[in-house]
Amino acid sequence: MKTIIEFLKSRFLWVNILIAIVVVFVICFLILMFLKGYTRHGESVEVPVLVGYYENEAEQIVKENQLKIEIVDSVYLRDTQPGIIVEQTPRAGTTVKHDRIIFLTVNAMTKKIIPLPNLINVSERQATYTLSSLGFEVGNVEIVPSEFSDLVLDVKYKGYSVAAGEKLVDGASLTLVVGENGASYQGQMAFVPDLAELFLPDAQKVISEKNLVVGYMDFDVMPANEDDKKLYRVYRQNPERGESVIPGKRIDIYLSKDANKAQKIKGQRQKDDFF
């Protein structure tokens, strides 16, 4: 017991305790200073408004505030200029440390591309609703004679017919060609053209030029896609060539990739004409 008491009273013990306390204090002080420097305690900045600016403008703004930016996403907003910042994280007014990255979403530089749906034989009202919901505009409606009223017979863009599946820019103004039974054609009659051996796009063009309408299209083998359809030739039609019909009459066409089918029909017609 006496030895322990003498040890507790010894100078050596208390010197070491004092040194240990100083060392702990110094270490704690150094850690606090390090953390203060690392986190830049007390040094913060308010996030500026970046929405509505272009990227290069935003870069200058954040540079002055010792911040950084990074574009992480893009969206398409029809009524906003391309390249404009539309969203930021953190939002403006938030307090952050210097060198914080502000994540940005910008409006796409190019317009959205939308495939045209199949609107042939759809009512004018339904076609208009469908186009509007997709982002198109119906700029005009052309009324033409037809066997059936209020059905879409064609869709045009900048004066040219466009087929289902063709891709157009968002907001494109389209014209609907709508049939009307009993529409005035001033007593004029149309003659059904000879469509044998014509590729589908050419047949459609000829039918339209004669003020007639493409009706049922029958493919002997189902096409793989819209581009594949363009490789099919007409080998049969109804009504037959030369028949006198009212404008707006539907012309049914039968198509095949087999050129021999069309040539066979063409040859038979020439033979019939000869006799």
Mean pLDDT of 64-78: 88
Per-residue model confidence as pLDDT tens digits over 260-274: 887 776 666 655 554
Question: What is 111-184's CATH number?
Answer: 3.30.10.20
Query: Over the chain, what is the mean pLDDT?
Result: 83
Per-residue pLDDT of 2-55, as tens digits, reads 566 665 566 666 667 777 787 888 787 777 777 666 555 456 888 999 999 999
Give yes or no for a contact between 126 and 151, defined as CB atoms under 8 angstroms apart.
no
Q: Where are the domains of the chain?
A: 44-107, 111-184, 188-275
Amino acid identity of residue 214, one-letter, is V
| pTM, 2 dp | 0.53
* 79-114 pLDDT per residue, tens: 888 899 999 999 988 888 888 999 999 998 888 889
- C-alpha 138/C-alpha 136 separation (Å) is 7
Instruction: Tell me the HSE value of 80 on the side-chain side, using a 13 A CA sphere.
Output: 20
Domain 44-107 matches domain 188-275 at the CATH topology level: yes
Confirm or reject CATH 3.10.450.50 for domain 44-107, answering yes or no: no
Average pLDDT over residues 131-157: 87
Q: In which band, very low, low, confident or very high, does the pLDDT at 173 lie, cut at 50, 70 and 90?
A: very high
Q: Which CATH fold would you assign to the domain 188-275? A: Trypsin Inhibitor V; Chain A (3.30.10)
- pLDDT higher than threshold 80 for residue 275: no
